[in-house]
Structure 1
Amino acid sequence: MHTDAPPRPYVDRYAPITDADRRAFAEQGYLLIRGALDEPLRAEIENAVDRVYAAEERAGRLSPHGAMHTLGAVFRDEAFTELLDLPATFPHLWGHLGWNIYVHHSHIDVNPPVPDDEPPAWRWHQDGYRQNADLAMEPRPMFSIKVAYVLSDLSEPGRGGTLVLPGSQYSNTLERTEPGPDGHYPRPPGTVEISARPGDAFLFDRRLWHSRSPNLSAITRKMVFLCYTYRWIRWRDDVTINRHTPWWNGLTPLRRQLLGDGDEAASHFGFTLESGVWDDAIPLRAALKSRGLLDHSQHYLR
């Protein structure tokens, strides 16, 4: 159930998530985290978004109405590095997915007010692309969790807030509603529009049925999305890792892991070829192990 009193952000990236948070995420498929970004960091991230936007505009890659959907966000500006293991959100990623994870997909969305002539569209979807076609099971595995960082004031309806259907992550299909006389599709019953303030974040199960709503306000919607998945799943974005830059060499081992680094192919499957057992040198596993946070009762935290 969506409430206006969500969990307080965690202050330690290795703090285990609470039973209440785990239960809420499992039941509704998403979790809203108020104040995930303090104002200095929110402003820094928004400035980075504006720099990317200006570069895309110069390159002629914006939509005719000035909207931007740019992939590979975490490699577009060094400021986004701070989001990789943000204490307010990171516990939810390893807490639900385990230690063998990385960010395989990230994007920046900038959505100015929609033009009057924009045609109605059905935008409801699950993330995952062929993961939703190649696996014949009900429900399909979660595989990934996406974190959305809200930089604009989306606290009022009509500002392009994300629509979600709580609990729908356990259903492989969603029946399309019939368009009305004006051609617009009514929202599916039970739809919630996430009401978020600047600096808030929300995370959601990739299977959760969700949609962007039209921005009918005078505010430009700005958001950054990071999608975490298992290291044995391929990149979604076309990115190139340059391991010889000062930026890369200044990263922590954990952040390198989260950006797709690995010593050998077997490492991405969580083990070493030499030993045939779990690789304790994988940075997130090493950090959790040193803190006694591995849990053999949870298969993904073994």
Structure 2
Amino acid sequence: MPDTLNQVAADRFTPIDDASHRTFAEQGYLLVRNALDEPARARIEAAVDRVYESEGRAGRLGENGAMHVLGATFRDDAFTELLDLPTTFPHLWGHLGWNIYVHHSHIDVNPPALERPSPKWTWHQDGYRQNADLEMEPRPMFSIKVAYVLSDLADEGRGGTLVLPGSQRSNTLERTEPGPDGVYPRPPGTVEITANPGDAFIFDRRLWHSRSANQSTITRKMVFLCYTYRWIRWRDDIAIDRHSAWWRSLSPLRRQLLGDGDEAASHFGFTLESGVWDDDIPLRAELKQRGLLDRSRHYLR
């Protein structure tokens, strides 16, 4: 067992290969096959089902029984294993660096559509005012989302995410003209991400993307975690009980990824006392110990 735990820890800090780094940089997204093995996938799906049942009892499900719940990482203990999952975590620190946390997470459950949804334009970039307050072309990436696929989305038409590869380099997307039925055609070059249960995909927040209608007989279940810099505010309304047994049971790294910090300056990566990089930030400490800090990449220095 100790060897297994050591290997898991090592996998968490195995740098991503050049091909994966290049694919993500060029396309704005990357599919990670078998991110969750079947036992882990089943645990996460069971947690999603518990949240779904709770929301249903509270009368908070949407049209057709759909669910979109924020603050996923705080809704069930099972979701904490996604924070630093060895198959996906290297892509987060590999592209964003060590001063990161999960500021936004959500669970999506979309049963089969009973009827075709009303036509509307749903293409967007994530980030809200980040896409309006900065006059730059392109704007900074700022965050990366990881989407964990729990259902069989191997075929199109099951509510898969639509993406426009390479569009993260453009601040705007020209809207297509609706047809006679009012439906907006997909922008040229659109890809519908198809994935098997247990797969995951990561994407640059600037990538133009859209949901698609679930016109199958399968309920689409997914969990999304969005990683950003610790100097960016929370997107979700959450309350952390730092005296709870659950919080105390978490590793320092997971507490960092859930927003912890010793002082305000820590969120900017330095200490007030020294004025230099804070080597006590758990992810920085891990990367430094393993010789993975890299001055040639500004976010890993």
Report if TM-score (shorter chain) is over 0.5.
Answer: yes
- 1:196 is aligned to 195
Cα drift, residue 116 of structure 1? 1.2
The alignment status of 1:211 with 2:210, answered yes or no, reads yes
Q: CA deviation at 1:117?
A: 5.4
Does 1:121 find its partner at 2:120?
yes
Deviations 1:90-143 (A, max 9, x none): 000000000000000000000011231531121110000000000011000000
Residue pair 1:113, 1:216 contacting (<8 A) in 2 also: yes
Give the whole-Å Cα distance in 1 for the aligned partners of 2:12 and 2:154. 27
Identity score, percent: 81
Alpha carbons of structure 1 residues 117 and 91: separation in structure 2 relative to 1, 3 Å: closer
Q: How many residues align?
A: 293
Indicate conservation of the 8 Å contact 1:149/1:225, yes or no: yes
Q: Which has the higher helix share?
A: 2
Distance 1:275 1:32 in 2: 41
Match of residue 105 from structure 2:
106
Report what 1:155 is aligned to.
Answer: 154
Contact 2:117 2:213 in 1 (8 A): no
Letter paired with 1:300? Y
- Residues 11, 88 of structure 1: 8 Å contact kept: no
In the alignment, does 2:45 pair up with 1:66?
A: no
Q: CA–CA distance in 1 between the matches of 2:75 and 2:219?
A: 20
1:184 CA displacement: 1.1
Unaligned runs of 5+ in 2: 1-8
Q: Name segments (4+ residues, structure 1) moved above 2 Å.
A: none
CA–CA distance in 2 between the matches of 1:42 and 1:84?
14
Q: Contact conserved, 2:141 with 2:206, CA < 8 A, in 1?
A: yes
Match of 1:7 in 2: none
Deviations along 1:209-238, one digit per CA (max 9) or x if unpaired, are: 001110000100000000000000000000
Q: Which moved more, 1:117-126 or 1:168-177?
A: 117-126
After the TM superposition, which residues 80-99 of structure 1 pair with which residues of structure 2 at under 5 Å, given as runs? 80-99=79-98
Cα gap change, 1:89 to 1:191, in 2 (>3 Å): same
- The alignment's C-alpha RMSD in Å is 1.0
Q: What's the offset of the Cα at 1:162? A: 0.5
SS in 2 for 1:12: helix
Give the structure 2 partner of residue 51 of structure 1: 50
Q: Which moved more, 1:233-242 or 1:114-123?
A: 114-123
In 2: Cα distance, 1:175 partner to 1:61 partner: 35
1:233 aligns with 2:232: yes
Note if 1:138 corresponds to 2:137: yes
Deviations 1:174-230 (A, max 9, x none): 011111111111100000011100000000000000011100001000000000000
Give the Cα–Cα distance (whole angstroms) in 2 for the partners of residues 263 and 117 of structure 1: 50
C-alpha spacing 1:112/1:290, structure 2 compared with 1 (3 Å): same
For residues 118 and 204 of structure 1, what CA distance do their matches in structure 2 show? 26
- For 1:64 and 1:213, the matched residues in 2 are separated by 15
- The separation in 1 between residues aligned to 2:283 and 2:63, in whole angstroms, is 42
Cα distance in 2 for residues equivalent to 1:250 and 1:276: 31
Give me the whole-angstrom Cα distance separating, in 1, the residues matched to 2:117 and 2:80: 35
| Alignment match, 2:284 | 285
Partner of 1:157: helix, strand, or coil? coil
- 1:250 Cα deviation after fit: 0.5
Distance 1:69 1:56 in 2: 10
Q: Does 1:21 align with 2:36?
A: no
Distance 1:202 1:139 in 2: 22
